[in-house]
């Protein structure tokens, strides 16, 4: 089948989080199953910078469809061979800054126009304009692409659509006046279509109009149907429950400690010795005392309330009271959280190292070199970093929520090494006290080498490859494709 996978970020062209990783690895897994997949991404400056001699111009978009001149480019996703279509509309996308925010962390004021235009371009292609082959199904991801299913319905295009919700908290809600500015049909601005409490909501439009809806773990699919975790959409999601499913993300082949080109020392479940060398390398690189016996605790994360960074900050006095703990963080986000973390760096410079910013290679080195990986998210649709950490023999400490609960088996103190099935450390309630208690349990386990070795081994044994999940997506696509009547013999 011919699939168009529409996404606002894809590794290694542009990445702010897990969506970029999934947008590379899921299409690759679908391709490995024999599907014909093409990606569509906005032509941000960093995406255009990847274009090379193999990039070709496929078509120009018609005057009036988009607010400024735009072309469709075709290139290849580095390291994958997958075709990528790029919406090259410089006025909307070719600018310094991130995909969604400027360099000061402020949302672009024209985000509604940018992503509505991206959706219009996608829907126009799905209609069959200018494409070398007919698109059988379009797979959209998050609010930035969620107008596509709605536009297809408004334009009477029968091609089925799937919307994957990677994070329900990001909804793309804008002032009602944008309906007219974006040239959307005014009669669709009501609570059964585009309207969410008086605003235009891209994500709601997608949830209402997509033929299939998925989210990225089975538990999160249940959680978002509750008032506590539904971000105002729980009623609508319950209404659409018959087409909503949770398919757990897999992890990309780039995240394999046996072959990871970003690590100074590769290792695997049968040759674990390289892990200790990565720990020494990380300590050296970050200017911390090189000591194999300290408990090196790492974090790589967006620094936001969702990720529970404040729980960690509130517990740090307590955690770092033990002189054998080193703490390293890579992340960026909330200015106050960044300030508090940096303060710890100056307070304990030989035990704490905070690196602000986005660094792909350092993220691999921290996940490989740490003993414990912290991911105490308040909510977590799936989470990839905890799966990377387990694969790299770095047991994660997580809150029992969403994809974290679906992927991490809790360590149970008191069990013998033989019966211990834990792959990480899990706390029940998102409170500093529970988090600290869980941390103490992890530290006690680390000081009991046979118990620690077993948890590390269990974690590395887990199989997070994409093949099963990709088959679930193919089964879903097949259910949505028009069924042709059997021809008589």
Please identify, among the stretches 217-225, 266-274, 320-328, 356-364, the one whose residues bind ligand ADP according to the rule CB under 6 A.
Answer: 356-364
Task: Tokens 């829907």: give the residue.
Answer: 123
C-alpha separations of 460 from 119, 258, 330, 422 in Å: 40, 11, 23, 11
Structure tokens, 292: 């194999």
The contact pattern for ligand ADP, residues 280-319, with x = CB under 6 A and - = no contact, is: --------------------xxx-----------------
Nearer to ligand ADP, 201 or 332 (CB): 332
Please identify, among the stretches 122-130, 228-236, 341-349, 377-385, the one whose residues bind ligand ADP according to the rule CB under 6 A.
Answer: 377-385
Least Cβ distance, residue 99 to ligand ADP (angstroms): 13
Q: From the centroid of its chain, how far is CA 278?
A: 25
Nearer to ligand ADP, 108 or 373 (CB): 373
- Is residue 218 within the footprint of ligand ADP (CB under 6 A)? no
Nearer to ligand ADP, 18 or 422 (CB): 18
Q: How many residues does the chain have?
A: 489
Nearer to ligand ADP, 329 or 451 (CB): 329
C-alpha separations of 343 from 64, 348, 369, 485 in Å: 52, 9, 23, 67
Nearer to ligand ADP, 135 or 224 (CB): 224
Specify the DSSP element, H or E, that contains 267. none
The contact pattern for ligand ADP, residues 313-332, with x = CB under 6 A and - = no contact, is: -----------------xxx
Nearer to ligand ADP, 161 or 301 (CB): 301
C-alpha separations of 221 from 170, 241, 403 in Å: 16, 9, 10
Closest CA to 284 of 271, 301, 268, 265: 265
Q: Tell me the chain's radius of gyration from C-alpha atoms.
A: 23
Q: How far apart, in whole angstroms, are the C-alpha atoms of residue 116 and residue 55?
A: 25
Q: How far apart, in whole angstroms, are the C-alpha atoms of residue 468 and residue 489?
A: 35
- Is residue 378 within the footprint of ligand ADP (CB under 6 A)? no
- Is residue 384 within the footprint of ligand ADP (CB under 6 A)? yes
Nearer to ligand ADP, 14 or 38 (CB): 14
- Is residue 335 within the footprint of ligand ADP (CB under 6 A)? no
Residues of span 89-148 touching ligand ADP by CB under 6 A: none
Please identify, among the stretches 78-86, 123-131, 357-365, 444-452, the one whose residues bind ligand ADP according to the rule CB under 6 A.
Answer: 357-365
Least Cβ distance, residue 408 to ligand ADP (angstroms): 13
User: Whose CB is nearest to ligand ADP?
Assistant: 18
Nearer to ligand ADP, 18 or 27 (CB): 18
Report the half-sphere exposure of 243 (CA within 13 A, side-chain side).
20
C-alpha separations of 34 from 257, 386, 476 in Å: 27, 29, 15
Please identify, among the stretches 14-22, 131-139, 177-185, 417-425, the one whose residues bind ligand ADP according to the rule CB under 6 A.
Answer: 14-22
Question: How do beta strands 71-76 and 56-60 pair?
Answer: antiparallel
Bridge partners, residue 290, by sequence: none
Exposed e or buried b per residue across 31-54, where buried means at least 16 C-beta atoms within 10 angstroms of its C-beta:
beeebebbbbbbbbebbbebbeee
- Is residue 18 within the footprint of ligand ADP (CB under 6 A)? yes
C-alpha separations of 131 from 118, 157, 275, 397, 480 in Å: 16, 15, 48, 47, 21
Nearer to ligand ADP, 141 or 363 (CB): 363
**Which strands sit side by side in the sheet containing 195-196, from one edge to the other?**
173-174, 199-201, 195-196
Report the half-sphere exposure of 246 (CA within 13 A, side-chain side).
17
Nearer to ligand ADP, 152 or 368 (CB): 368
- Is residue 341 within the footprint of ligand ADP (CB under 6 A)? no
- Is residue 358 within the footprint of ligand ADP (CB under 6 A)? yes
Least Cβ distance, residue 79 to ligand ADP (angstroms): 16
Residues near ligand ADP (CB under 6 A) are 17-18, 21, 300-302, 330-332, 358-360, 363, 383-385
């Amino acid at each position: 089948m011919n699939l168009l996978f529409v996404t606002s970020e894809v590794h290694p062209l542009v990445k702010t989080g897990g969506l970029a990783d999934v947008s590379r690895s899921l299409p690759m897994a679908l391709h490995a199953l024999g599907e014909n997949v093409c990606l569509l991404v906005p032509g941000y400056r960093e995406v255009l910078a990847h274009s090379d001699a193999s990039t070709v111009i496929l078509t120009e978009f018609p005057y009036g469809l988009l607010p400024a001149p735009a072309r469709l480019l075709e290139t290849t996703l580095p390291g994958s061979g997958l075709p990528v279509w790029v919406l090259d509309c410089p006025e909307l996308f070719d600018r310094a800054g991130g995909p969604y925010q400027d360099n000061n962390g402020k949302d672009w004021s024209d985000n509604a126009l940018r992503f509505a235009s991206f959706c219009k371009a996608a829907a126009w292609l799905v209609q069959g304009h200018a494409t070398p082959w007919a698109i059988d199904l379009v797979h959209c991801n998050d609010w930035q692409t969620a107008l596509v299913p709605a536009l297809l319905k408004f334009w009477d295009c029968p091609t089925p659509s799937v919307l994957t919700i990677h994070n329900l908290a990001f909804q793309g809600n804008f002032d009602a006046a944008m309906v007219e500015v974006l040239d959307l049909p005014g009669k669709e601005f009501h609570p059964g279509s585009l309207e969410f409490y008086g605003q235009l909501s891209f994500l709601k439009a997608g949830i209402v109009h997509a033929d299939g809806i998925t989210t990225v773990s089975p538990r999160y699919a249940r959680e978002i149907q509750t008032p506590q975790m539904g971000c105002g959409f729980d009623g609508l999601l319950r209404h659409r429950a018959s087409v909503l499913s949770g398919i757990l993300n897999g992890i990309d082949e780039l995240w394999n400690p046996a072959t990871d080109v970003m690590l100074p020392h590769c290792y695997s479940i049968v040759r674990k010795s390289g892990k200790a060398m990565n720990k020494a390398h990380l300590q050296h690189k970050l200017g911390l005392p090189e000591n194999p016996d300290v408990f090196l605790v790492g974090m790589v994360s967006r620094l936001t309330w969702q990720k529970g960074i404040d729980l960690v900050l509130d517990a740090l006095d307590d955690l770092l009271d033990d002189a054998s703990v080193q703490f390293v963080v890579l992340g960026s986000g909330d200015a106050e959280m960044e300030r508090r973390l940096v303060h710890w760096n100056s307070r304990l410079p030989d035990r704490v190292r905070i690196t602000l910013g986005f660094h792909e290679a350092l993220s691999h080195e921290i996940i490989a070199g740490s003993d414990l990986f912290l991911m105490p998210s308040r909510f977590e649709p799936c989470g990839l970093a905890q799966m990377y950490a387990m694969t790299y023999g770095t047991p994660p400490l997580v809150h029992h929520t969403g994809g974290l609960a679906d992927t991490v088996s809790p360590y149970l103190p008191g069990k013998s090494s033989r019966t211990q099935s834990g792959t990480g450390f899990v706390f029940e309630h998102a409170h500093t006290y529970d988090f600290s208690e869980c941390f103490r349990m992890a530290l006690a386990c680390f000081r009991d080498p046979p118990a620690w070795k077993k948890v590390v081994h269990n974690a590395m044994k887990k199989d997070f490859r994409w093949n099963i999940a990709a088959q679930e997506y193919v089964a879903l696509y097949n259910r949505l494709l028009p069924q042709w009547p059997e021809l008589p013999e």
